[in-house]
Structures are given as C-alpha cells and as structure tokens.
Structure 1
Amino acid sequence: MEDNLYDELLVELECPICTNYMSPPIRQCATGHSVCDACRNKLPKCALCQGAFTECRNHSLEALAVKMRYPCINKVSGCNAKLSYTERETHELRCPLKGFKCAMEKCTWVGRLEELAAHWASKKMSSKPYHKSNVCHTKMKSESYYVNMVNAYDRLFWFKCKLTKNKLYWAVQYIGNAAEAEGFYYEIEIFKPGRTKKRVLLSDYCQSIELENSQLFGDDSCICINTDAVNGFVSSDQLLIYYLRVNAIKDEKSEQAHGQVTDVAYKTDHGARQRDRSKGPPNLAKKDYKKKYNQHHNSKQNKQKEGFVLL
C-alpha cells in the first residue's frame, strides 16, 4: 500500500518535458506548468503551452520533493535503493548496476559494465579493441566520426575521433565512476612514416562517460587541432597516422618516485623507455661501475685480438 502511494506521488514529480524527477528549484510557466530547472534553462518557451516562463517556483512540489524517497535510475537493472533527492546524483554515479550506452551512433544498447566488451565484440568491428598503446589511422574525410573501445589497465575506455569543419578532435572517455576519469590521460603523437623525427605530440585528461558528444567535442573538453596543422603529415591516400596512448597518472608518479624517466622524449617508437644519456652514466656505486667498465674493456681487447673491432 505504501509503495503504491509513493509511486503515485512520484508521477506528480515527473517533469512533463524530459520525464526525469523534478527537484528544487522547480520552475513554472505563466500557465502554471511545472518543469525541472534543466528544461527551464534549455527552452525559450513552455513546450506544453508555448507560454513564457516566469521566475515563480512551485513551492508545494518542492516541499514534496524534499520528503520523497526516489528509486535509483538503474532500477530496471536491479538496483533497489531508495534515495533522497540530495543522495541521487552521488549514488547514481557510483551505482554498481549502472547502465552504460554503446558509443556507436544509432545503437540503442544499454547494459552493465561487465557486458559492454561482449556487446562490442558482437558488432564484429573490422578493427579489434585497442590497448594502452596503438598505431592508428584516420582517413581525412570531411564530416567523419570513428569510435573504438580501449582496454587498458583492466579498465575500459571509449576512443572517439571526429573530423568536422576543418577541425580534428580526439577524445578518450573513461567508462566507469566519473570521479576516476582524471586518474588517466591520453596522448596523440602524430608522425610521418620515413621521417620519424617529424612529430607532433598532444595530450589531455580522459573525460567522464557522462559527457555527451555535443559537449565532448569542444575545444576545452578534448584534443582539438586545425586540419591545416597536420596537412604535412597526411599521406598521398589521405591517411593520417599517429600513436594513441592511454596512461595512468598514478603509474607515472610511481615511476618518478623510483627515479625512472617518463618524458616522451626518451621513449622509442615501440614505447620502451630509455635513459636520459645527457645526464651521464647511471647512478651506480663507484665500485660496481668500475667493475662493469673493466669487464667491458677486457672484453673489447679480447675481441680485438681475435680479429674483431668493436665499434
């Protein structure tokens, strides 16, 4: 009986435009229709009666909203949590039964995180999911969009590339708790085969999966570059070749703490790390270093005696 009453009252708190539950502030139009604050800010007029919005608020509905316990948005996936309006946002970002959308355009699939990789495999994509370091190709075709899954550090990401209006965008979104997204960053390193010293390196933080493409592909939300800046790297068949790397910030800090070099300038083409030779020999104990030097020097002399010259 109590559950039925709650369900009936919750219907009264549904925004008539977006159907999400309304919470304070609840806005009104001149006719008296109540809408959520998000819809009020998006629309110039009331979608129900085309009346103008006012500065008035529905204080009676706001008082009801404060007292209600709301179901989690992932109720259809099995979450039975009952939440106050102040708890909803935090819980739904961390809900273990949260549904994630497929990043492929026109795909309506929504499922749990552990089901996402299998769904992506079922689409039989021509390119397999990326790992944390990849060589990628983008066809410089106007108004194009490409997406692939990335499996790195036992976590999943979406890699998205969009070419539109003479701008090229690259974005990586962390699939999981939005608060963990900035624990990762990604690099785009553009190069030209045969001229490996000619490169452009760009990097940015990974974004939350909560960000829609309309917000994601903005100059401040992902890597963006004018196509004119990369024309010198495009091949005769209109392909732009680059490395995509997804990195964990905590791994980088750990390497720095142990004295390992993390600067991209000291990486090989295969991602292996090299020592900064401008700083001289490794910081070994003098005795060990002398021992290794003598062994190398004696070995060199022996090879020379045998008719070999060590270069």
Structure 2
Amino acid sequence: MECTSENSLISKFECPVCFKYMIPPIRLCLSGHSYCSSCFDKLKNCALCRANKSPYRCIVLEQIHATLSFPCKYYDQGCVFRGKGDVMTDHQEYCDFSPALCPLRFNECEWRGSKSEILDHCRNLHPDNLFFENKQKLKVTNFYNIMNRNYFILFYIFDTVFRCTWDLIEDSGTVRFAVYVLNKPSKLRQYSFKITVFDTQTNMEVITLMGPCYYLKDDNLKFLGKKYLSSNHDYFKGFCDNNGDLNYAITIINNIRNERKEQEDFDDLFQ
C-alpha cells in the first residue's frame, strides 16, 4: 500500500512536455503548472494554459521531491535503480544505461550506445587500443614526425576504465601525457600512473614520469585543464631507434591496494 501511494505521488512529478520526472529546480507558470527546468527554458508560454512563465520555483514540490525515491530516468532502457534527491542525480550521471559515445572517438569512431556497452564495442572495433593488464609496453612509430597526431588508448583494470592520452603542442615542442579515470569518482579509489621510456639499444629505462590519474567527468575533453605531465619532444627523440620509433610503457597503480598490501606485509611480521 505504501509503495502504491508513493508511486501515485511520484506520477505527479511527470513534466507535461517531456513526460520525464521533474527534478529541482522545478519551474512554474503564473497559473501554477509545473515543468522541468529543461522544458521550461524552451517554452514561450505555459503549454497547458498559455499563461506567462513565472520567475519563481515550486519550493513545495521540490521539498516533497527530496522525500521520495524515484526510478532512474533510464528505466525504459533497463535500469532498476531507485533513489532520492542527490543520490539519484549522482547515479544518473554514471548510470550504465545512460547514453555514451566511444571513448576513442577522437580516432574518428562515430559509435553511440550505452555505457554498459563500451567495453564490448572497444573489444570488437578497437582491440589494439584496449588493454586489461596494469602495465603495457607500447611503441610510437615515426616519433620524429608526430605533429598534429593524438594518441588514445584504454585500460580496463580494477573494474575501472582509464583513458590514456598524449599529444604534441607544435609551437612549444611540448609532449603532454595524461591518464584519466572515466568511471564514477570515489574517495576510496585513487590511482596514479607511470610513463617509462626505454633506450632502444640497451632496453634500459631512461625516462620515468609519474602522476595522479584524475577523474574526467567530461570525456569530451582531451586534457583536463593543466592536469597532465609534460616534457620536451626533442629530449625524447634521442631515445628512438633507427626507424624513429619510440618504445615506452604505461603502468597504472592502484594506490589504495598498495597501501593495503603494505599494511598486510607489516602485520605479517608480527604474526
């Protein structure tokens, strides 16, 4: 009975234009009809009574909204999650059933699907750009001439998707590196990465760069502000082979797991 009453109340939150559940801010016309903010901004007048739009919000509905558990807006696509207020807003932003573009679309891939389908898509269409180990040795062909070239690869480890990006800023000769986390941010999950360059003659490590893996909320961005590592292009050239190829490796480190392992090793000393 309680669930039926709540469902009946939730139905009152359907926007009369898009029929999606309204979330704060909930907007009004001067006659009191309510709309979701997105539809309200597109209207010239109230779609139900033609009254002018009000500059005020429906505070009472917003207060009631905070007490109810709503289904995810992707329930038609199969999501069964229900939650209140900020919990639902946070869930929908990273919902597995939410629409997604290929995270390697900068390589001219036009795929569209849901977030839950990304890995299968990349396995099928981008197998050379997807890795499942936390360390991967790679090669950049013709590193001498990388002007206007971007590199994007994915790692799927620790149940997390990482996108590795690097490019060259032609004017300054600066090579930029970054590894970003594409999953939902978590205080309990913190990662870092290491870029290692190898001398092609001796196979010895000659350059090591390390940095944190920042969470990338908007994956339309290639780089997040100035949150990347950088070095000089000419410096790297000295470690290329006779063909101008550069051998390097990317390692992704689970910092929380390492700290836990260190604690376990410390505890073992006293057992």
Report the TM-score when normalising by structure 1.
0.57
1:173–1:207 contact (8 Å) kept in structure 2: yes
Matched to 2:124, the amino acid is S
**Structure 1, unpaired ranges of 5+:** 15-20, 27-33, 38-45, 50-56, 260-282, 284-311
* Pair 1:233 & 2:239 matched: yes
Deviations 1:134-178 (A, max 9, x none): 111224311222222323345443333333433323332334332
Equivalence for 1:243: 249
* Pair 1:202–1:48, CA change in 2 (3 A): farther
Q: Aligned to 1:132, which of 123, 129, 134?
A: 134
Q: 1:233 to 1:75 in 2, by over 3 A?
A: farther
Instruction: Pick from 57, 60, 66 the counterpart of residue 57 of structure 2.
Output: 60
Alignment CA distance shift 1:58-1:75 (3 Å):
farther
Is the 8 Å Cα contact of residues 198 and 205 (structure 2) preserved in structure 1?
yes
* CA distance in 1 between partners of 2:241 and 2:26 (Å): 55
Question: d(CA) in 2 for partners of 1:254 and 1:2?
Answer: 47
Please name the residue that 1:8 is paired with: 15
Secondary structure of the residue that 2:131 maps to in structure 1?
A: coil
- Write out per-residue CA displacement over residues 252-273 of structure 1, whole angstroms, 9 at most, x where no aligned residue: 22443326xxxxxxxxxxxxxx
Q: 1:35 to 1:189 in 2, by over 3 A?
A: farther
Answer yes or no: is 1:173 the counterpart of 2:176. no
Amino acid across the alignment from 1:123 = L
What's the CA shift for 1:248? Answer: 1.2
- Structure 2 match to 1:162: 167
Deviation at 1:243, TM superposition (A): 1.2
Deviation at 1:189, TM superposition (A): 1.0
Contact 2:122/2:130 (CA < 8 Å) preserved in 1? no
Give the C-alpha shift of residue 187 in structure 1. Answer: 0.7
CA offsets 1:209-231 (integer angstroms, 9 cap, x no match):
523342634322x3333324423
Rate the CA distance shift 1:62–1:137 in 2: closer, same or farther, 3 A: farther
- Structure 1 distance, partners of 2:204, 2:128, is 31
The answer to whether the Cα contact below 8 Å between 2:196 and 2:208 also exists between their aligned partners in 1 is yes
Query: 2-side partners of 1:234 and 1:198: how far apart?
Result: 13
Pair 1:254–1:4, CA change in 2 (3 A): closer
Report which structure shows greater RCO (CA 8 Å, sep ≥6). 2
- Out of 92, 108, 115, the position equivalent to 2:111 is 108
- Structure 1 CA distance, aligned partners of 2:36 and 2:174? 37
SS in 2 for 1:87: helix
Cross-structure match for 2:30: none
How many angstroms apart in 1 are the aligned matches of 2:115 and 2:102?
11
Q: Structure 1 61/244 Cα, relative in aligned 2: closer, same or farther at 3 Å?
A: same
Whether 1:211 aligns to 2:214 is: no
**3-state secondary structure, aligned to 2:197:** strand
Report the TM-score when normalising by structure 2. Answer: 0.64
Equivalent of residue 186 in structure 1, options 186, 193, 204: 193
For 1:54, the equivalent position in structure 2 comes to none
* 1:121 aligns to 2:127 (yes or no): no
**Separation (CA, whole Å) in 2 of partners of 1:35 and 1:2:** 16
Number of aligned pairs? 230
Higher mean displacement: 166-175 or 67-76: 67-76
Runs of at least 5 residues in structure 2 that lack an aligned partner in the other structure: 1-7, 28-34, 45-53
How far does residue 64 in structure 1 lie from its aligned partner after superposition?
Answer: 4.7
Question: In structure 2, what residue type is equivalent to 1:231?
Answer: K
- Compute the RMSD of aligned alpha carbons: 4.1
